[in-house]
Amino acid sequence: MKKVLEGEAPQDLLLKCYQCGERFIFTVGEQQFYQQKGFVHPRRCEKCRANYSNR
Ligand SMILES: [Zn+2]
């Protein structure tokens, strides 16, 4: 993966949930967490993620 963001200040992203269509904030802290896990972006908002993992 290219380090395109290197040198840029990390910032919160506004993403759109592909399940319910709501926009949600993907915070810098979450971005770092996802990167450590090897993931890219969450596709669902927190609510949908909670619903999904509860099933
Ligand atoms: Zn959602």
- 46, amino acid identity: E
**Residue 50: which residues within 8 A CB-CB, separation 6 or more?**
none
Residues with CB under 5 A from ligand 1 (ion): 17, 19-20, 45, 48
Distance 37 CA to ligand 1 centre (A): 21
| pLDDT bracket for residue 4 (50, 70, 90) | low
Q: How far is the CA of 42 from the centre of ligand 1 (A)?
A: 10
Q: What is the largest CA-CA distance in the chain?
A: 40
Domain boundaries, the chain: 13-54
In angstroms, the Cα distances linking 2 to 5, 11, 22, 46 are: 8, 18, 29, 28
Residue 10: its pLDDT value, please?
84
pLDDT of 8-38, one tens digit each?
Answer: 788 999 999 999 999 999 999 999 999 999 9
Question: What is the reported pLDDT for 13?
Answer: 94
Q: What's the whole-model pTM score?
A: 0.68
Mean pLDDT on 27-51: 92
Backbone angles phi, psi at 26, to 5 degrees: -105, 100
Query: What per-residue confidence (pLDDT) applies to 53?
Result: 75
33 CA to middle of ligand 1, Å?
20
